[in-house]
């Protein structure tokens, strides 16, 4: 029996999406272009002050802020903010290599979820490349904690996300989700989950010059323990689904897909980034391996495919 080869993927054709930046409120445009095997996800921006174009790899080492969203580089000098929803779509659909061209410092927020990115990628399809996919395979538990919040990565034969949130608002409360990530699961269970926040918090952000593009068109708003949006939520547990979507996008900054079980309680962008720092800088030798996808061996007219092969230990996750 011939198994399907796990090849690296890129998009089949260029894609352009337009919207507004959720924090600036300004028009924002992003274009995605096919990229060669091994190039990964790379953001291209413009440092207007220095009159030069810059490239920023979608990598945990490029993260400069995680308070309101995930930021790569300096948005004032060609960096980009709010990358998590696009990164979630790319990782969720199995896109390994793409060049992301930005016209400004912020990704368009679209409807506050990954749905528009998924729709655009699905509209052009994916192209298989002549290179096997590599993975970061978790070999031993890695954990971080802050107060009663925590997250961890555990060995697992697949990619699993188990996320729990616990908010004082009765509109959210305690919610949990546990799923194995595949492209179809991402499309069906996570892609349409929108970002959310309380009206009072958004008003404070507005007063400080943030979230100027936030509205009921791109966020689930909560006031007096009730959802303000006339249409309500897309799922009763849309809040934890969005937190899981964020985690998929943030962990995509590992540089390669992760084979492992991610668990978190009261997590967020800061802790999602911190678990990658812990894995690659602090956990020590043996916390992970770079595993290579199946290779082809031809015998007569048949192709025989072996399972994942472990490469050498090390931080080569580009």
**Residue 261 annotated as lining a ligand binding site:** no
**Angle, in degrees to the nearest 10, between helices 84-93 and 115-124:** 40
Distance, in Å, from the CA atom of 101 to the CA atom of 53, rounded to the nearest integer, reads: 10
The closest alpha carbon to 121, from 80, 165, 76, 87, belongs to 87
Question: Residue 60's Cα: distance from chain center in Å?
Answer: 11
Distance, in Å, from the CA atom of 197 to the CA atom of 245, rounded to the nearest integer, reads: 16
**Residue 23 annotated as lining a ligand binding site:** no
**Residue 246 annotated as lining a ligand binding site:** yes
CB-CB contact of 63 with 253 (8 Å): yes
Residues 6+ apart with CB under 8 A from 67: 269, 270
Query: Is 269 considered catalytic here?
Result: yes
Output phi, psi for 207, to 5 deg: -65, -25
The closest alpha carbon to 58, from 1, 105, 25, 99, belongs to 99
Distance, in Å, from the CA atom of 210 to the CA atom of 213, rounded to the nearest integer, reads: 8
Distance, in Å, from the CA atom of 125 to the CA atom of 89, rounded to the nearest integer, reads: 13
CA-based radius of gyration for the chain: 20
Catalytic position from the list 23, 59, 269, 273: 269
Q: By three-state DSSP, how is residue 76 classified?
A: helix
Which stretches within the chain are classed as H helix? 84-93, 115-124, 183-185, 199-207, 238-251, 269-277
CB-CB contact of 100 with 18 (8 Å): no
Distance, in Å, from the CA atom of 207 to the CA atom of 184, rounded to the nearest integer, reads: 40
Known binding residues: 85, 242, 246
Active site residues per annotation? 269
Known binding residues for Zn(2+): 85, 242, 246
């Amino acid at each position: 029996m011939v198994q399907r080869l796990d090849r690296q993927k890129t998009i089949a054709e260029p894609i352009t999406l337009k919207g507004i930046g959720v924090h600036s409120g300004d028009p924002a445009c992003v274009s995605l272009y096919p990229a060669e095997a091994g190039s990964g996800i790379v953001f291209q921006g413009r440092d207007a002050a220095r009159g030069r174009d810059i490239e920023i790899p979608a990598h945990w080492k490029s993260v400069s802020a995680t308070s309101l969203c995930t930021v790569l580089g300096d948005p004032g000098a060609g960096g980009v903010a709010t990358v998590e929803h696009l990164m979630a779509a790319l990782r969720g659909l199995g896109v390994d290599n793409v060049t992301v061209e930005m016209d400004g410092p912020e990704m368009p927020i679209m409807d506050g979820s990954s749905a528009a990115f998924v729709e655009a990628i699905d509209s052009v399809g994916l192209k298989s490349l002549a290179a096997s996919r590599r993975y970061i395979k978790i070999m031993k538990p890695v954990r971080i904690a802050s107060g009663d919040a925590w997250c961890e990565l555990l060995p697992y034969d697949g990619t699993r996300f188990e996320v729990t949130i616990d908010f004082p608002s009765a509109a959210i409360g305690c919610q949990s989700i546990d799923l194995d990530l595949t492209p179809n699961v991402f499309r069906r269970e996570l892609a349409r989950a929108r970002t959310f926040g309380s009206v009072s918090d958004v008003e404070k952000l507005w007063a400080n010059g943030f979230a100027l593009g936030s509205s009921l068109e791109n966020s689930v708003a909560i006031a007096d323990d009730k959802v303000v949006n006339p249409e309500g939520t897309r799922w009763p547990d849309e809040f934890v689904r969005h937190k899981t979507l964020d985690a998929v996008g943030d962990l995509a900054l590992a540089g390669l897909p992760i084979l492992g079980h991610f668990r978190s309680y009261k997590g967020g962008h800061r802790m999602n980034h911190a678990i990658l720092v812990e894995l690659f800088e602090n956990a020590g030798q043996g916390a992970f391996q770079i595993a290579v996808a199946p290779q082809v061996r031809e015998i007569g007219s048949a192709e025989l495919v072996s399972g994942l092969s472990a490469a050498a230990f090390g931080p080569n996750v580009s």
